[in-house]
Amino acid sequence: MTNEYKTSIATELFRLAGSGKSKTDKYKYSQVELSARLGISNATVSKMISGQWNNISDAMWRKVQATLKLDMDWNTGATTNYTNLMELLKAAQERHLTLGISFNAGVGKSHAYVDYERYNRNVIHIECANFWRTRSYISNLLKACGIVPSGTMEEMIECFIDHVMGLEDPIIIIDQMDKLKEGPFDLFMDMYNYLFRCCSFVVSGVPALKKRILRGAKNDKIGYREVLSRLHGNFLQLNIPDHSDVEAVCKANGLDDEDEIARIYNLSEGDLRVVRKEVAKYFLLNGKEVA
């Protein structure tokens, strides 16, 4: 890993936690909380921030970069979905709303959630995985709060709820919720019942999430009717990325060739992941780097 990349990572760590061990209003985390979120020692975080890099392996730097979802070689394009989601999340957080979003993969949902969490306070954001069991789910929620997971499952759940209750206007974003097994999925209602008066919730996934909740409610599966009612029986619709969205992404990353943008748009079929691959391919074939 280059020193330029390490500097970018260290700058982001400083932006999040500053150079002191105590949390202040200026920073989102204390260094202790940030190290818990990253799953590394507080000493390592401190050394990264202060420039003492000699004994820190490239593997450790890559782990921090991946955990923080820092994308060194890509710039955000202000697509319609990105702009709308950032505004929607802000409104939800301010008004303690509960929202359901179930829409196609590749339209920019997860990217917007990552950016919203990065630049706003008291945002608890996780991306669920198929292999998670209930303990993994709770552990990742705690890590997202900057808390080291420990104790029994009941103790961890209580720790999480107590922590969220103490935050000012928190928002919990559960992305890719459709991947959860029944155990962790069922915990949503328990958390909601404790926290809905002081907390916002966003549950998000591909169309399978909406189908799962509707089917569970129809079959009177325990908890599903409650989940659907908390979402007011409604899932918010996003937009299939159009030509202007693809153009925004391309130009944000230094690709201005209108013919190439049109080609990428026609190839993408509404999937921004394809756009990213094609932009990278364009610069590779033309001997250039992404802006």
The reported pLDDT for the residue numbered 288 is 67
Residue 116 lies in a domain: yes
Last residue of a domain, one of 68, 88, 110: 68
State the burial class of residue 76 (Cβ atoms within 10 Å of its Cβ: 0-12, 13-18, 19+).
middle
Residue 236 lies in a domain: no
Q: Does one domain contain both 90 and 200?
A: yes
Q: Does one domain contain both 122 and 219?
A: yes
Tell me how many domains the chain contains: 3
Task: Determine the Cα angle at 17 with ends 71 and 149, to 5°.
Answer: 85
Kindly tell me if the per-residue pLDDT of 110 is higher than 80: yes
Q: Does one domain contain both 203 and 128?
A: yes
Q: Does one domain contain both 220 and 100?
A: yes
Strands (E), 31-170: 98-102, 123-127
Residue 75 lies in a domain: no
User: Could you report the per-residue pLDDT of 76-94, keeping only the tens digit for each?
Assistant: 999 999 999 999 999 999 9
Residue 74 lies in a domain: no
Last residue of a domain, one of 44, 68, 92: 68
Question: Span 189-193, mean pLDDT?
Answer: 91
Task: Categorize the per-residue pLDDT at 289 as very low, low, confident or very high, splitting at 50, 70 and 90.
Answer: low
Q: Does one domain contain both 84 and 225?
A: yes
Q: Does one domain contain both 157 and 94?
A: yes
Q: What percent of the chain has pLDDT over 90?
A: 90
Q: Does one domain contain both 116 and 205?
A: yes
Residue 48 lies in a domain: yes
Q: Does one domain contain both 133 and 173?
A: yes
Residue 222 lies in a domain: yes
Identity (one letter) of the amino acid at 280?
A
Burial annotation 48-74 (CB, 10 A radius, 16+ → b, else e): bbeeeeeebeeebbeebbeebebeeeb
Question: What CATH number should be reported for the domain holding residue 90?
Answer: 3.40.50.300
Q: Does one domain contain both 100 and 136?
A: yes
User: Could you report the per-residue pLDDT of 154-181, keeping only the tens digit for each?
Assistant: 999 999 999 999 999 999 999 999 999 9
R_g (Cα) of the chain, nearest Å = 20
Cα-to-chain-centroid distance, residue 61: 20
Residue 57 lies in a domain: yes
Asked whether the whole model's pTM tops 0.85, one would answer: yes
Structural domain harbouring 42: 3-68
Q: Does one domain contain both 88 and 182?
A: yes
Q: Does one domain contain both 172 and 92?
A: yes
Residue 238 lies in a domain: no
Q: Does one domain contain both 114 and 216?
A: yes
